[in-house]
Amino acid sequence: MTFTYKIKSEIYRSKAFRGPRRAAQAYGLLLFGKHFGEEAIGLVTENKRVTKLYANAITDLVGITESITIKETKHTGNSVFAVSVDSREDREKVLAFFGHREGAEGIRMENLAEEGDLAAFLSGVFLACGNVTDPQKSYHLEFVVPSPGLAQPLCDAIGLILPTPKLTRRRGQEIVYYKESENIEDLLATIGASTAALELMEVKIYKDMRNKVNRVTNCETANIEKTVTAAMQQIEDINLILRERGEGALEDDLRELAFLRLQNPEMSLRELGENLSENISRSGVNHRLKRIGALADEIRRIQTAARK
């Protein structure tokens, strides 16, 4: 299973863009599919769940059922799915629903007027044409844009809520991309793939710490692994608290340490203590991190109880 497949499956399972945000997600999914016009509306993907989301969105939002077809083919041993709207009359209904009558091009921002719509839209765009390389190898996220007229509008749309990505052309196709791990993490979290964002962050932390350690002589491997594991757990705890309860759940002394740890995953406890507004000892830092961990564990217990 590729990293991209895992991300798309996570977005599919996410409840963040259901209900009022569903139309915005569907708009991104359809507009950035392989075809979106009077002559053809369709999508090609290796993820069967994405075809299901695509077809259900058209049915539920536009009321079309009979002219939607899904076909499966084999390509180099893997299944490839194609979903399409085969009736011209129904294609015109879909275009009209999203305000693309009479050949209107670009992104119709009036479809994204409510708070949260743009994030939902970008989740649909990623499902349609997004890819992320395995973070163990390199950091690269890209959108292979199906129509040249959509590339710059996509850059501009992303730039409204995140750093503006770069644009290039490869083998005749427009590519919108990020190479900075922080930008990739932020985009993944924005589009409902927070687990993938954390996984990428953890890989980066491990790589950064391993590279730092490789420059230091006479370090014991066991201590290195222990330091890396502890830092990753601390960051996971902090992100859980911020996601579920917000920064207000942390007292002032814990909040400052939490953000310092997020910004400096490679720092030792001693270095963290030296970089706080009021210096504290290594043991003082450890005590505060344990309080953060206890709060995160409390949240996990509540979540576990709620699922039973």
DSSP-assigned letter for residue 115:
T
Kindly state the average pLDDT of the residues 142-157. Answer: 95
Per-residue pLDDT at 68 exceeds 80:
yes
What totals of helices (H) and strands (E) does the chain contain, helices first? 12, 8
- For the entire predicted model, the pTM comes to 0.72
Alpha-carbon distances, residue 134 vs 1, 72, 102, 104, 250 (angstroms): 11, 26, 41, 37, 34
Q: Map out the domains of the chain with their CATH numbers.
A: 3-189 (3.10.28.10), 220-307 (no CATH)
Rounded to an integer, the average pLDDT of 282-291 is 94
Compute CA 296 distance to the chain's CA centroid, rounded to the nearest angstrom.
23
The whole-number pLDDT of residue 275 equals: 94
What pLDDT is stored for residue 205 in this prediction? 87
pLDDT tens for 71-80 read 989 877 788 9
Name the strand (E) or helix (H) holding 84: strand 78-85
The reported pLDDT for the residue numbered 303 is 86
For residue 140 the two structure tokens come to: 């690269």
Task: Give the model's pLDDT for residue 229.
Answer: 86
pLDDT tens, 178-218?
Answer: 999 999 999 999 999 999 999 999 898 888 887 776 666 55
Q: At what angle do helices 3-13 and 117-129 cross, to 10 degrees?
A: 140
